[in-house]
Amino acid sequence: MMMHIMVEVTLSIPENVFQHATRLSKATQLNVSNILTEALAFTLPTLDIALAADEPVSQLDDEKVIALAESQMPLEHDERLSELLYKQRENHLKVAEASELLSLMLVYRSGWWRKTEALVEAVKRGLRSPLES
């Protein structure tokens, strides 16, 4: 078994995140600290892999930059994400669904970051005008 050196940190998190961790803690019989540690341990490497696998937006040709800037999450993922978020709001999310929700949130956020990078690159290249605020 691999030993990991633990580093103690103090972290301020939104109250609703703490409430979610508390509910998972009760459902899984793990303490909140372990829930948050496991969530970070699962999330961060997955994001690293997702970001590292993609070619830098600045190296994409104009057509790919525009396609990425206009991209959207696949409909079936978007619908499932909405369903799980609704269940979470209503406190009906099962433990197994929590990991699915986390995975879909990672896919969504990773796609959102790539889309944002592509929008910035498209404006920089003059392929589209800046978004209005």
Per-residue model confidence as pLDDT tens digits over 38-80: 878 776 766 665 555 578 899 999 999 999 999 998 899 999 9
Is 3 domain-assigned?
no
Taking the C-alpha atoms of residue 120 and residue 100, their distance in angstroms, rounded to an integer, is 30
Taking the C-alpha atoms of residue 44 and residue 46, their distance in angstroms, rounded to an integer, is 5
Per-residue model confidence as pLDDT tens digits over 14-41: 998 899 889 888 877 888 988 888 878 7
Is 19 domain-assigned?
yes
CA distances 44 to 38, 69, 88, 95, 121, Å, are 10, 24, 22, 20, 25
Is 40 domain-assigned?
yes
Taking the C-alpha atoms of residue 23 and residue 93, their distance in angstroms, rounded to an integer, is 10
CA distances 43 to 48, 106, 120, Å, are 9, 7, 25
Is 73 domain-assigned?
yes
User: Which residue range is the domain that position 52 belongs to?
Assistant: 15-124
Q: How many domains does the chain have?
A: 1
Is 54 domain-assigned?
yes
